[in-house]
A and B are shown apart, each in its own frame.
Chain A
Amino acid sequence: MARYILGRLFSLLFVLFAVSVINFSLMHAVPGGPFDEDKQPLPPAAKANIMRKYGLDKPLWQQYVNYMKNAVQFDFGIPYQQPTTTVTALIARTWQITAQVGIMTILFAFGVGITLGIVAAYYQNSWIDNFVTFFAMLGLTMPSFVIASLFIVIIAGQMDLLPMRGWGDSACLLNNAAWRNGFFCTDWILPVLAYALGPMSVIARYTRASVVDVIRSDYVRTARAKGLNERSVMLRHVFRNALIPMVTVLGPIIPDLMTGSIFIESVFSIPGLGKYFVTSTFNRDYPMIMAIALLISTLWGITYLLTDIAYTLIDPRIRLGAEGGK
């Protein structure tokens, strides 16, 4: 087990190295730099000075080594678009907003999705089941920005029920004073709904399939036969075993939601991580792009590893590293 985890961590390091090299060379391969003076021409000496200040006059490999040396200490440099802060601070600030949306989306998607899946499996082939299946189909096929646009046009535009965009008052979610004043912000409702529908459908579908699989097994019949009530049969025998295959599929949904959606954040003008990724690529903000790329790859790598480990904890029959065919 320890050896397996070490091996996986090593391969994660390799992936991070490769992602950083690819990103680094991509960004330097294209014409145009962050200090192109198409608006205000600079004297050559001043430009050389700026280039030296940011280390852009050194050979490429040295820039890379310098960068990685600092990156290991969580120093990702200074974002070109906001020179008064650091990349780490900017990411921390924007990620806080993305994480709020993400956590609410996770709670909503998993709560509703798992419930719908269990209900659909329990009443298999009834109208509830058909409804959930159809609903999940819709949610799976529709891109999030399509759902978001529909919501904006219908719920916010025509019915005028909720705000169309913005994240102004939503700081109140972290702010107790706002709650105490009875101030209830509504900015987050549409983004969370639009964002959650897709993952919710995936969750509902997998839960349903997984529960249907388990519900017919012998030990469930035994549990019923020995007189357990439906509730504890479903929760203790069916759902627990149904969880096993779900972990590997549903685990990766979490980092995906936590890093936010570029589309949801652009549609609703939420100043989160995804929106900054887009503005960073427009502005050729190398330090920012690199940091976000490394952050996302790390998160994904760790989650895949964690889901594999969680798999062995839930089901002791599975031994990691054994499936490699050694």
Chain B
Amino acid sequence: MENVNPGSLQMALAPTPHAGLENQRHRTLWQDGIRRFSRNRLAVFGLSIVIFFLLLAIFADVIAPYSYKEANFSKAKLFPLQDSAHPLGTDVVGRDYLSRLIYGARTSLSVGIIIQLIALTVGVPLGGMAGYLGGKLDFVLMRVVEVLTAFPGLLFAILIVSLWGGGFWKVIFALSITGWIGYARLVRGQVLSLREKEYVEAARSLGATPRSILFKHLIPNLLTPLLVAISFGIPGAMFGEAGLSFLGIGINDPLPSWGQMVGASGAFAKVYWHLALFPTLAIALAMLGFSFVGDGLRDALDPKLIE
């Protein structure tokens, strides 16, 4: 990891580094980033929201008082606090709303993360090859990108989901089709500009192999923008899932999803306000948390910002 630090070259060249100075100066980009990030109150607040939802998602079986599909018709449509056994009330068929919200976090986050993983494994190599090799591959990739961006990604996903039907994996598939474009573009642009940088040229003229240039100079410089892109990509995918489920063509009913819960509550919004309010707040809070983290990461990892 030390290779990331532009200062480490100076350290290596300095004949006898002063011990005290070294301690002060020798901080890697990541240590710098963590320091800046933890000083940013909004970013830390966002991170705690994200961790909270992550814990809910991972330990949903332990935390949730009921199962997400256990319906009790005698207790349908309870308001919050009306029954001490159901603090956030129950839905139309008498399922505990708190439990469904907790399992909803699992659905939402897993869709968001899986889509990003797929998008990364497709987009990063494609963009990298297109940027590094150029030529025909680059031309073809850019035309594909051009076509896919001419048509809003969510409309495309709606088309696919309504043709092939909804469900967990189909939602992921539909949103992944356009999800990789951002990464491919980002990596291609970065590689194109990095390739021409002086330090890469210097490394090449010093006799570095293409392999070591790729791993020591290109990839570390790609990691920070990618990390920022991922932190915005996850809520983006969660938004897509929530949207599809909201329209009733995403996640199918027994499995809870916040978007689907908002959509299903539409007909009852006048009286049973809690059905719309809680999942709406959950979506809003999750989106806010992720974008605070994303903004914080961008500010923390941008080496152009001077402390």
Interface residues of A (CB under 8 A from B): 11, 14-16, 18-19, 22-23, 26-27, 30, 137-138, 140-143, 145-146, 149-150, 152-153, 156-158, 164, 256, 262-263, 266-267, 277-278, 281-282, 284, 289, 293, 296-297, 300-301
Contact = CB atoms under 8 A, between A and B. Distances in A.
Given A145-B246, A277-B158, A267 B266 contact: yes
Interface of B: 143, 146-147, 150-152, 154-155, 158-160, 162-164, 235, 239, 242-243, 246-247, 249, 259, 262, 265-266, 269-271, 273, 276-277, 280, 283-284, 287-288, 290-291
24 contacts: A15-B146, A15-B150, A19-B150, A23-B159, A26-B159, A137-B288, A140-B291, A141-B288, A141-B290, A142-B287, A143-B287, A146-B242, A146-B284, A149-B262, A149-B280, A152-B269, A156-B269, A156-B270, A256-B152, A266-B246, A266-B247, A281-B163, A282-B162, A293-B155
A166 B249 CA distance: 22
From A142, A145, A277, A293, residue with most partner B Cβ within 10 Å: A145
A267 B239 CA distance: 16
A15 B249 CA distance: 28
Contacts of B273: 153, 157-158
Contact of B235 (A19, A141, A293): A141
B151 to A, nearest CB: 5
Nearest to B295: A137
A291 B18 CA distance: 71
A314 B106 CA distance: 49
A267 B248 CA distance: 12
A150 B265 CA distance: 12
Given A11-B146, A19-B151, A143-B239, A30 B269 contact: no
B269 A263 contact: no
A269 B270 CA distance: 15
B242 A143 contact: yes
A282 B161 CA distance: 10
B155 A149 contact: no
A278 B158 contact: yes
Contact of B247 (A138, A146, A164, A278): A278
B283 A143 contact: yes
Contacts of A138: 288
Given A145-B243, A296-B152, 4 more contacts: A142-B284, A149-B265, A153-B273, A300-B152
Contact of B276 (A153, A266, A278): A153
A19 B269 CA distance: 39
B257 to A, nearest CB: 13
B158 A281 contact: yes
A303 to B, nearest CB: 11
Task: Find the residue from B158, B159, B164, B270 having the highest chain A CB count within 10 A.
Answer: B159
A157 B275 CA distance: 12
Contacts, number: 115
A15 B150 CA distance: 7
Contacts of B147: 14-15, 18-19, 22
A248 to B, nearest CB: 15
A137 B42 CA distance: 11
A129 to B, nearest CB: 15
B247 A30 contact: no
Contact of B163 (A16, A26, A140): A26
Most chain A C-beta atoms within 10 Å of own C-beta, residue among B242, B273, B280, B288: B280
Contacts of A263: 243, 246-247
A187 to B, nearest CB: 16
Contacts of A156: 269-270
A14 B276 contact: no
Nearest to A301: B150
A18 B151 CA distance: 11
A257 to B, nearest CB: 12
Nearest to A160: B270
Given A18-B147, A297-B150, A284 B163 contact: yes
A297 B242 contact: no
A110 B279 CA distance: 30
A30 B160 CA distance: 10
Contacts of B162: 278, 281-282
Contacts of A152: 266, 269, 276
Q: Which 8 A-B pairs have the closest CB atoms?
A: A281-B162, A18-B147, A141-B287, A297-B150, A30-B163, A15-B150, A141-B291, A157-B270
Contacts of A16: 150
Contacts of A256: 152
Contacts of A140: 291
Contacts of B239: 143
Contact of A30 (B164, B246, B266, B288): B164
A26 B235 CA distance: 28
A12 B297 CA distance: 36
B262 A145 contact: yes
A266 B247 CA distance: 8
A157 B269 CA distance: 7
B280 to A, nearest CB: 5
A270 to B, nearest CB: 14
Contacts of A164: 269-270
Nearest to A21: B147
Contacts of A11: 146
